[in-house]
Amino acid sequence: MTAPLIDPFARPISYLRVSVTDRCDFRCVYCMSENMTFLPKKELLTLEELDRMCSTFIRLGVEKLRITGGEPLVRKGIMTFFQNMRRHLDSGALKELTLTTNGSQLRKFAGELAECGVRRINVSLDTLDDQKFADVTRWGKLAQVLDGIDAAQAAGLRVKLNAVALKGFNEDELFTLTEFCAARDMDLTWIEVMPMGDLGNEDRLDQYWPLSDLRKRLAERYTLTDLAERSGGPARYVRLEETGQKIGFITPLTHNFCESCNRVRLTCTGELYMCLGQEDMADLRAPLRSSDSDAPLEGAIRAAIGRKPKGHDFDYSRQAVDGQMTRHMSHTGG
């Protein structure tokens, strides 16, 4: 049997997040600049190469695959990839196939995703106000996303909303968004804005709404029960007793979650990032393309996991963004 992937801190790596494109039909202000230069096509892993990469990770013990981007559903032919991944669900090697999406293409693809064995999806949505949605996504239309969520639920997909907590932007929608999700039986996870990309440090600090404050405000209206459940990632969960829904908090800046980290991230060009908050990465495309055998790729994956760092260094505490990454979030897929 193939030995599973265990990092130097004895953490088994069972979760792979894969960015399948750097492109997107939105230009969210905290994620991309308005004029992005995207990668030339030849740099991208082909759909066949993505399949080989993911299948190798699955053979090495990855049980959960999250497809992200950029916007994964704008990648041409991506449904073929999902259809092919189904074989790993059917064999039992893969326990979960899921994606994070901005929701714009769900009307078109929700049914097919369900047929491919996708059961749950994350949809990113920060506001329920048309104008604010247009402002934060620059190019997005709220109605299209809401319609996409309807389509996903109608197809039987369980939807969780992810909202980036933005000071002065969606603070006033804390309860509206909570109630919107409760009415549709959706969980909601809040994400602290992270210092990614090169959009300027000041912007980041202005936008930073600590989830400790958000949680306090939520507790003024609801009874919060802490849930022990951890996903191996940065989310912590509470249940709102009044609605029964789960609310998640992703606080990479104020909490240390690294000790239970079980994940790595693959970019659309085949770079493996062992930690979202560190620059170190391994090129897996070269070993993949170097041979028809998966042996060089497998060796490169094992070597990379052997370098997975203990944790990251984001820190806003000194009113300057330390440990800031120059990568855009769309590069590693969040």
* Binding-site residues from annotation: 17, 24, 28, 30-31, 66, 70, 100, 124, 160, 194, 258, 261, 263-265, 275
Q: Which two tokens stand for residue 213?
A: 């404050």
Q: Token match 């085949």: residue?
A: 270
In contact, 303 and 287? CB cutoff 8 Å: no
Binding mask 36-75 for ligand SAM (x = CB under 6 A): --------------------------------xx-x----
Q: Is 102 in the site for ligand SF4 (CB under 6 A)?
A: yes
By CB under 6 A, is residue 105 in contact with ligand SF4?
Answer: no
- Using the contact rule CB under 6 A, the part of the chain among 1-9, 23-31, 81-89, 230-238 near ligand SAM is 23-31
Strands (DSSP E) contained in 36-95 are 64-68
Q: Which of 21, 98, 105, 124 binds ligand SAM (CB under 6 A)?
A: 124
Least distance (Å) from ligand SF4 to the CB of residue 263? 18
Complex with ligand SF4: residue 71 or 192, whichever CB lies closer:
71
Is 164 an interacting residue with respect to ligand SAM (CB under 6 A)?
yes
Compute the distance between CA of residue 33 and CA of residue 104 in angstroms, rounded to an integer: 19
164 contact, one of ligand SF4, ligand SAM, none, CB 5-8 Å limit per kind? ligand SAM
Q: Quote the CA–CA distance of 328 and 306 in Å, as a whole number.
A: 25
CA distance 155 to 268: 28
Q: Least Å distance between CB 141 and ligand SF4?
A: 12
Three-state secondary-structure class, residue 265: strand
Nearest to 21 by CA among 80, 83, 67, 85: 67
Residue 44 interacts with ligand SF4 (CB under 6 A): yes or no: no
Asked if residues 73 and 105 have their Cβ atoms less than 8 Å apart, the reply is yes
Q: Burial level of 130, CB count in 10 A (0-12/13-18/19+)?
A: exposed
Q: Is 268 near ligand SF4 (CB under 6 A)?
A: no
Give the SS3 label for residue 295: helix
The nearest distance, CB 235 to ligand SF4, in angstroms, is 17
Pairwise CA distance, residues 221 & 202, whole Å? 32
Binding site residues, ligand SF4, CB under 6 A: 24, 26-28, 31-32, 69-71, 102, 124, 329-330
Binding site residues, ligand SAM, CB under 6 A: 24, 30-31, 68-69, 71, 100-102, 124, 162, 164, 191, 193-194, 196, 329-330, 333-334
